[in-house]
Amino acid sequence: MAKQDSRPVFLNLLQIRFPVTAILSIIHRVMGVILVVALPFLIYLLDLALESEAGYTYAKELISHPFVLFVSVGLVWALTHHLFAGIRFLLLDFEYGVEKSVARISAYVVNFCAVLVTLIYLGSLL
Protein backbone atom coordinates (compact mmCIF):
# COMPACT_ATOMS: atom_id res chain seq x y z
CA MET A 1 0.00 0.00 0.00
CA ALA A 2 1.31 3.46 -0.94
CA LYS A 3 1.94 5.90 1.85
CA GLN A 4 0.06 9.22 1.50
CA ASP A 5 2.21 12.30 1.10
CA SER A 6 1.38 14.83 3.80
CA ARG A 7 3.72 17.57 2.60
CA PRO A 8 2.10 20.88 1.59
CA VAL A 9 1.62 21.45 -2.11
CA PHE A 10 2.76 24.73 -3.67
CA LEU A 11 -0.28 26.22 -5.36
CA ASN A 12 0.51 29.08 -7.73
CA LEU A 13 -2.80 30.83 -8.37
CA LEU A 14 -1.26 32.89 -11.18
CA GLN A 15 -0.73 29.76 -13.27
CA ILE A 16 -4.29 28.53 -12.94
CA ARG A 17 -6.66 29.68 -15.70
CA PHE A 18 -9.93 30.48 -14.02
CA PRO A 19 -13.10 30.55 -16.12
CA VAL A 20 -14.88 33.89 -16.45
CA THR A 21 -17.62 32.68 -14.11
CA ALA A 22 -15.10 32.04 -11.32
CA ILE A 23 -13.47 35.43 -11.86
CA LEU A 24 -16.91 37.06 -11.72
CA SER A 25 -17.69 35.30 -8.44
CA ILE A 26 -14.39 36.33 -6.87
CA ILE A 27 -14.77 39.95 -8.00
CA HIS A 28 -18.37 39.98 -6.70
CA ARG A 29 -17.14 39.07 -3.24
CA VAL A 30 -14.26 41.56 -3.32
CA MET A 31 -16.58 44.37 -4.47
CA GLY A 32 -18.95 43.56 -1.61
CA VAL A 33 -16.10 43.97 0.87
CA ILE A 34 -14.99 47.23 -0.77
CA LEU A 35 -18.53 48.61 -0.59
CA VAL A 36 -18.83 47.71 3.09
CA VAL A 37 -15.49 49.35 3.84
CA ALA A 38 -16.50 52.51 1.91
CA LEU A 39 -19.86 52.76 3.66
CA PRO A 40 -18.67 54.76 6.71
CA PHE A 41 -17.08 57.41 4.47
CA LEU A 42 -20.23 57.66 2.35
CA ILE A 43 -22.40 57.96 5.46
CA TYR A 44 -20.05 60.67 6.76
CA LEU A 45 -20.43 62.61 3.50
CA LEU A 46 -24.21 62.30 3.65
CA ASP A 47 -24.27 63.42 7.28
CA LEU A 48 -22.00 66.34 6.47
CA ALA A 49 -24.14 67.41 3.52
CA LEU A 50 -27.37 67.26 5.54
CA GLU A 51 -25.94 69.00 8.60
CA SER A 52 -25.99 72.59 7.37
CA GLU A 53 -25.40 74.76 4.35
CA ALA A 54 -21.72 75.07 5.26
CA GLY A 55 -21.47 71.31 5.64
CA TYR A 56 -23.07 70.86 2.23
CA THR A 57 -20.55 73.25 0.71
CA TYR A 58 -17.67 71.42 2.39
CA ALA A 59 -18.99 68.03 1.23
CA LYS A 60 -19.31 69.40 -2.29
CA GLU A 61 -15.69 70.61 -2.17
CA LEU A 62 -14.58 67.21 -0.89
CA ILE A 63 -16.37 65.41 -3.69
CA SER A 64 -14.85 67.68 -6.34
CA HIS A 65 -11.28 66.76 -5.28
CA PRO A 66 -9.57 64.73 -8.07
CA PHE A 67 -8.67 61.82 -5.77
CA VAL A 68 -12.23 61.57 -4.47
CA LEU A 69 -13.53 61.68 -8.05
CA PHE A 70 -11.19 58.82 -8.92
CA VAL A 71 -12.41 56.86 -5.89
CA SER A 72 -16.03 57.60 -6.80
CA VAL A 73 -15.51 56.11 -10.26
CA GLY A 74 -14.12 52.98 -8.60
CA LEU A 75 -17.05 52.86 -6.20
CA VAL A 76 -19.56 53.23 -9.04
CA TRP A 77 -17.87 50.33 -10.82
CA ALA A 78 -17.89 48.30 -7.60
CA LEU A 79 -21.56 49.05 -6.98
CA THR A 80 -22.73 48.31 -10.53
CA HIS A 81 -20.63 45.16 -10.77
CA HIS A 82 -21.89 43.93 -7.41
CA LEU A 83 -25.49 44.77 -8.36
CA PHE A 84 -25.43 43.09 -11.77
CA ALA A 85 -23.54 40.06 -10.51
CA GLY A 86 -25.98 39.78 -7.60
CA ILE A 87 -28.93 39.78 -10.00
CA ARG A 88 -27.15 37.12 -12.06
CA PHE A 89 -26.58 34.97 -8.97
CA LEU A 90 -30.23 35.35 -7.95
CA LEU A 91 -31.28 34.16 -11.40
CA LEU A 92 -28.88 31.23 -11.04
CA ASP A 93 -30.52 30.40 -7.70
CA PHE A 94 -33.84 30.17 -9.54
CA GLU A 95 -32.06 27.93 -12.08
CA TYR A 96 -32.14 30.40 -14.98
CA GLY A 97 -28.96 30.33 -17.01
CA VAL A 98 -27.37 27.40 -15.23
CA GLU A 99 -26.06 25.81 -18.43
CA LYS A 100 -22.35 26.33 -18.92
CA SER A 101 -22.59 28.32 -22.14
CA VAL A 102 -25.36 30.59 -20.86
CA ALA A 103 -23.56 31.13 -17.54
CA ARG A 104 -20.40 32.13 -19.39
CA ILE A 105 -22.28 34.58 -21.61
CA SER A 106 -24.11 36.09 -18.63
CA ALA A 107 -20.79 36.58 -16.84
CA TYR A 108 -19.46 38.52 -19.82
CA VAL A 109 -22.68 40.55 -19.95
CA VAL A 110 -22.34 41.47 -16.25
CA ASN A 111 -18.75 42.64 -16.77
CA PHE A 112 -19.68 44.59 -19.90
CA CYS A 113 -22.68 46.28 -18.27
CA ALA A 114 -20.68 47.28 -15.18
CA VAL A 115 -17.97 48.86 -17.33
CA LEU A 116 -20.59 50.54 -19.54
CA VAL A 117 -22.40 52.15 -16.59
CA THR A 118 -19.05 53.26 -15.14
CA LEU A 119 -18.06 54.86 -18.45
CA ILE A 120 -21.42 56.66 -18.57
CA TYR A 121 -20.79 57.95 -15.05
CA LEU A 122 -17.27 59.00 -16.01
CA GLY A 123 -18.65 60.79 -19.07
CA SER A 124 -21.09 62.69 -16.89
CA LEU A 125 -18.18 63.93 -14.75
CA LEU A 126 -16.26 65.35 -17.70
What residue segments make up the domains of the chain, in order of their start?
26-125
Q: How distant, in Å, are the alpha carbons of 20, 55, 58, 70, 103 from that of 110?
A: 11, 37, 36, 22, 10
Query: What's the CATH code, domain 26-125?
Result: 1.20.1300.10
Backbone angles phi, psi at 115, to 5 degrees: -65, -40
Q: Is the pLDDT score of 64 beyond 70?
A: yes
Reported pTM: 0.81
Backbone angles phi, psi at 12, to 5 degrees: -95, 105
The reported pLDDT for the residue numbered 30 is 95
Give pLDDT tens digits for 75-93. 999 999 999 999 999 999 9
Q: Is the pLDDT score of 106 beyond 80?
A: yes
- Cα–Cα dist 9/88, whole Å: 34
The reported pLDDT for the residue numbered 126 is 80
